[in-house]
Structure 1
Amino acid sequence: MAKTATKIPESEKITINIGHVDLGQVELLVQEGFYSNRSDFIRTAIRNQIDRHAETVRQIIIRKSVDLGLRRITHAELTAAKDAGQMLDIRALGLVVIAPDVTPELARETISALSVLGTLQADDALKAALSDRIS
């Protein structure tokens, strides 16, 4: 039987609260054709703020040694760390995916800290095993 790759979603759904007047102004801009819908407006506003602070973000990423984008944590990587007697302090901005073949025991033996600014995809048992190390 062929092994299927896990599909990684391209985005994360969030919920926000917005004041009535602000929402009305967003709706007006959508009605006038400046944006295709509310989500388009919000994504554009977020991108504009990220662009505005890009240099600051870049400096923080360098200072904190943060992995940017997609960070996959594999069984082989953790086994190599275990064999070398190392504990990993993983910091990422974006998406962290821990491979499904990583056991909670192996993760606890090799991951000292896991800081994710974004989304962590891992088995529930693995998240529970690392709960005291995830920030």
Structure 2
Amino acid sequence: MGEGKFFRDKAPDSEKITINLGFVDLGRIDLLVQEGFYSNRSDFIRAAIRKQLEVHGGTVEKTIERHTMELGLRDYGRAELEQLRAAGEILHVRVVGLARIGADVSPDLARATIGSITVLGALQAPADIKNALADRIS
């Protein structure tokens, strides 16, 4: 009895989505299902999505972005941003308080590693850094 409740309360491991397909594409999928390549339309669509995720896997890994919200004082210096650039990561600065970008950070390094800046409080950075990131500061 307790075991049955466990399964009923289990969180789903997938989410249902709805897509619209043209009649020709739908017919092609149905043909592949009829010929036994896939068990049903959903099986085909899941396989197609997995294949595309595999094709773009390297891109996904290289563009992992760090999204953080920090409270208080946060300093960003050259060493940290160079590590992000080497890892292929983009930083999204989210600070409530004071964010400071060090004078040792070049405008090129800032543009290569900082995708956006949102500061509720104050942003302190050299003028050339603020100019380089003007389109990314909100």
Q: List gaps (5 residues or longer) in structure 1.
A: 1-63
1:103 to 86, 101, 106: 106
Q: What is the match of residue 124 of structure 2?
A: 121
User: Percent of aligned pairs with the same residue?
Assistant: 49
Match runs of 1:17-96 below 5 Å: 65-96=68-99
In the alignment, the residues of structure 1 paired with residue 90 and residue 105 of structure 2 have an alpha-carbon distance, to the nearest angstrom, of 15
Over the aligned positions, Cα root-mean-square deviation in angstroms equals 1.2
TM-score, scaled relative to structure 2: 0.51
Letter in 2 for 1:87: I
Q: What's the offset of the Cα at 1:66?
A: 1.4
Deviating beyond 2 angstroms after TM superposition, the runs of 4 or more aligned structure 1 residues are: none
In the alignment, the residues of structure 1 paired with residue 68 and residue 79 of structure 2 have an alpha-carbon distance, to the nearest angstrom, of 22
Q: What's the offset of the Cα at 1:124?
A: 0.5
1:132 aligns with 2:135: yes
In the alignment, the residues of structure 1 paired with residue 114 and residue 68 of structure 2 have an alpha-carbon distance, to the nearest angstrom, of 16
**Change beyond 3 A, Cα 1:65–1:83:** closer
SS at match of 1:100: coil
Q: What's the offset of the Cα at 1:125?
A: 0.7
SS at match of 1:105: helix
In the alignment, the residues of structure 1 paired with residue 121 and residue 100 of structure 2 have an alpha-carbon distance, to the nearest angstrom, of 11
Bigger Cα Rg: 2
- Count of aligned pairs: 72
Higher helix share: 2
